[in-house]
Amino acid sequence: MNFVLYLLLLLNVFFAKCEVIKEYKEKNIKTVLIHNVENELLDPIIRLNSNDVLKLSFDEIAYDVKNYTYSFIHCDSDWNKSDLLPSDYIEGFIENYIENFSYSFNTNINYVHYECLFPNENFKFLLSGNYILIVQNESDRKIILKRKIIVYENIVEVKANIKRATFANEIESKQEIDFEVFFSNINTTNPMDEIKVVIQQNDDWSNLKTNIKPTFIRQNSLEYNYDKEINFSGGNEYRDFNTSSLRFFSKNIDTIYTKKTKSFNNFFHVVELKKDVKKSNKSYFENYDLNGKLIVRKDNSYSPENEAEYVIVKFNLSSSGLNINEDIYIYGDLSDWRISSDFLLDYNHKTKNFEKEVLLKQGYYNYKYVTLKKNKISSDLIEGNHYETNNEYTIYVYYKSPWERHERLVGIEKITSNSLN
């Protein structure tokens, strides 16, 4: 009997190590945001044992409040579940209630807004690394959303530089990152294998460079200086629109009207955007953007969290120069940085445009059009690539010693390509 229990324990540990946890949300859960309380545009990243605090907020299209709880799963650098117990990485309560909620006020669509701050007096993180935040319904234990957050230690130093790509065939379209990791504060005898680096573009976990080996090893530093291996397609500046006001036509809005739909049996606003066109055949044009992010806003409101309307935003993309059978998706923070059928454009044979209606909360949004190229998300076809594009890159440095069961995130460095334009 003891042998059987031991075998089951080993199997559980094995499958836990192999489980890659992906982000997720239920269809009636909208506008999921996690950001540093100091700035709503900061990534969901906090330093271990600091005063940094993250805020989770989301809406549920519903009339009634539910009891939701949140918890965390520690992961390795590839978002595989770590071989750790919650008590290893959480001090305090393993599971906590989301106690702050508010009903939508004077809106056409009823929703409940939820939010919480963490770490808090009920718990704190004991270890650095990648974490999955899980929100569940207390009554049936159903998971309604999963989101990625980062907890890091400031132990190593990273010095980075960004420039145009080296090779002639990439020099106009790609950005190259060279950097050096200084690890004198880490007691490592095998930095090549014990230190791992991940590079991310614009808070998008689908656009990464991983398994990067140093080109040169010094006594207390690792140098990464490649001509091709750490190149990113520059992409283009994000398109944008602003629905903060439903009385005025702001940038990129063609018309606003109200209609009644079967889905909600109520009148609400429809915002039609101006027709977008393919940009991959055009020269680079600098335009301020949020690198794909969004901000919830409503004009003349002190509480847009529960006063902002949910409106139907209609996207229109000209089919000129495109295959009408192409699968084209709207992409960015508004799509949770995922390829989703909810954001797949439909071809309208009457208007000869690709179109899609999406339910979005009032605010300022960035977006772009992407396709799948060899099962990878690509903006090559419609947006194009330019070395001048303003992008933000995050370099994550992980460390795992032979006697530890988890990867520590021992350093983070952010760098922008703004100097290239």
> Do residue 79 and residue 191 come from a single domain?
no
The model carries a pTM of 0.92
pLDDT digits (tens, 9 = 90+) for 384-405: 999 999 999 999 999 999 888 8
Residue 289 lies in a domain: yes
Residue 185 lies in a domain: yes
Structural domain count of the chain: 3
Output the tens digit of pLDDT for each of the chain's 421 residues: 344 433 433 444 444 455 778 899 999 999 999 999 988 889 999 999 999 999 999 999 999 999 999 999 999 999 999 999 999 999 999 999 999 999 999 999 999 999 999 999 999 999 999 999 999 999 999 999 999 999 999 999 999 999 999 999 999 999 999 999 999 999 888 999 999 999 999 999 999 999 899 999 999 999 999 999 999 999 999 999 999 999 988 889 999 999 877 666 678 899 999 999 999 999 999 899 999 999 999 999 999 999 999 999 999 999 999 999 999 999 999 999 999 999 999 999 999 999 999 999 999 999 999 999 888 999 999 999 999 999 999 999 999 998 888 999 999 999 999 888 7
Residue 246's Cα: distance from chain center in Å? 27
DSSP assignment of 1-61: -HHHHHHHHHHHHHHHHH-B---EE-TTEEEEEEEETT-TTS-SEEETTSS--EEEEEEES
> Do residue 91 and residue 121 come from a single domain?
yes
**pLDDT at res. 9:** 39
| Residue entry with tokens 């301020």 | 288
Assess whether the previous peptide bond of 304 is cis (omega < 30° from 0).
no
What's phi and psi for 3, nearest 5 deg?
A: -65, -40
> Do residue 52 and residue 77 come from a single domain?
yes
Quote the radius of gyration of the chain (alpha carbons, Å). Answer: 23
Residue 4 lies in a domain: no
**pLDDT at res. 251:** 85
> Do residue 288 and residue 187 come from a single domain?
no
> Do residue 269 and residue 343 come from a single domain?
yes
**pLDDT at res. 420:** 80
Which of 84, 168, 93, 165 lies closest to 127 in space, CA to CA?
A: 84
> Do residue 197 and residue 138 come from a single domain?
no
**pLDDT at res. 419:** 85
Residue 10 lies in a domain: no
**Domain hosting residue 194, numbered range:** 157-235+388-420
Give exposure, 327-352, as e/b (b: 16+ Cβ within 10 Å): ebbbbbbbbbbbbeeebebebeeeee
> Do residue 167 and residue 246 come from a single domain?
no
- For residues 133 and 121, what is the distance between their CA atoms, to the nearest angstrom? 18
Residue 313 lies in a domain: yes
CA distances from 208 to 19, 58, 77 (A): 19, 26, 12
Residue 354 lies in a domain: yes
Residue 312 lies in a domain: yes
Question: Of 91, 121, 152, which residue constitutes the final position of a domain?
Answer: 152
> Do residue 244 and residue 349 come from a single domain?
yes
> Do residue 225 and residue 284 come from a single domain?
no
Cβ atoms < 10 Å from Cβ of 284: 17
Question: Of 110, 127, 152, which residue constitutes the final position of a domain?
Answer: 152
> Do residue 118 and residue 203 come from a single domain?
no
> Do residue 367 and residue 393 come from a single domain?
no
Q: At 46, which CATH number?
A: 2.60.40
- Read off the tokens for 373: 């190229």
Which of 153, 173, 155, 156 lies closest to 165 in space, CA to CA?
A: 173
**pLDDT at res. 11:** 46
> Do residue 65 and residue 43 come from a single domain?
yes
Cβ atoms < 10 Å from Cβ of 229: 14
**pLDDT at res. 248:** 87
Question: Of 152, 183, 209, which residue constitutes the final position of a domain?
Answer: 152
Residue 118 lies in a domain: yes
